[in-house]
Structure 1
């Protein structure tokens, strides 16, 4: 009997990649553009597997409804899982799996692209030249070589990012609950968060969102940082307290901010709102600063990453169906 997978929060590229790689698995695929939440869960009919993304709401209330509908597997097509109530899923007998690693280089390279763009202002230079303005005024940057870069979180993505910045000749400090010996041998030095806040010229966030990391960038931690600090976040929006970062930008404490994620992004990202009046005053304020670069959760968006996401998701689901287990234990969450 063919198993059906119901996908939520899907875009055209999701459908394209999952359909392409389904030839080797033979699932029946059902795609919904809407996010999964308590209002949309009733779209599911006769399916035991749902596939969700970063902004789908899979809380206890939704999980209860999924269990009532006979859902047995929740497959996350991402690494983060802070949007899923794992305790409720386990209680309901629903297995949860994820894609723990999909081209970490994709996200790491995007973080570096944001650093280079903010520093050398290539986005502004591009627009100027198209208008036949060849002036260099206002485009002054700085050498990355010799600067101190702080990396918070040295999992697969943070590790890949460390290797990139080392290649630029930067001094690299890192913080994580466990040390990676490979990057230590390359010259990365593990320090306390306080040391990184005080010493770094650039700080890049690559840690998960949980109770300990939520709003780790706040008024207190910002006050410890160097003036004109550059902050990059390609991890989770909730790591940054948005009102506090806005105040730090206004006070010129933060000299550069690059964010590919935003705490309230589920109302904005992956949608075309060009004809709408956006009601989120915080994102509008952030985008009004000339030294802020916002991309819409784009860091993962490479051919290699989407290929890995599709194939790993199918493999996870197939393994759970056939033997109720997954070889890669990091992919199984309960």
Structure 2
């Protein structure tokens, strides 16, 4: 699946192959195939439902003072449809749909794995719940970073094109790209110019976002889910899992939004001549504070909450309903 995006060169996919191999060895006896299916189905459904909002989030976060094209999420989506058509709202969706399966599967399965091995007599302290979330967030970035690196370029291409049309003076000198590149073209260009490091630009910022997100999300979800099933034996009802996933996801999303703004800025390759460029996390923070003020770190926060809430609500429902287990039950079982 990874090769669809990474092209013919197999070396960029080596870390993912090694990770999945280790995961397979460790977790096969604990139902990894079902977890992969659950995470994949949840990711595909969620991305399809909320991707236009995610596109608006990326474009709003990348706007800087003096080059604002959109005033709000709805304004962004309306202008996108007018200038790029309905499917313009799904720029970059193919990358997400390709890589969201391993990303969500790794995230959910890793959290399950760490919770299992950190628990004592089936119980976890809050600290160990946070530790399990930390492990899950760390594992997922091996897929998340290149996925979002490519997705952001495709999502923001429409904003750059609109700038060139409405404000040609804001286009950086020497920038002659007139047609939006495909994910394959971007991948080949990054690998040719910068090697595997090109796909992992913003890795540090991604870790700074996803690790705290998981530390907040997974313990909060587990406790909300347990609270909602008081007096009920077995798994929580699907609506409890959905509401818990939505509440925990939106809370964690807003909490880490400042880092998401930084990550989006660092991973954006194309900018107008009046827009700042950044050499790293600290440089990005200082320039945003100096030129745009603290409020800039909240750009796209409500969009991100609207994306993450249903995304993780759906994920947890699929996960807890055991869709993967149900599908695998039709396969013939091996004789011992």
Normalised-by-shorter TM-score class: 0.3 to 0.5
TM-score normalised per structure 2? 0.32
**Structure with greater contact order relative to length (CA < 8 Å, sep ≥ 6):** 2
Q: Which structure shows the higher strand fraction?
A: 1
Q: TM-score, normalised by structure 1?
A: 0.32
Structure with the larger helix share: 2
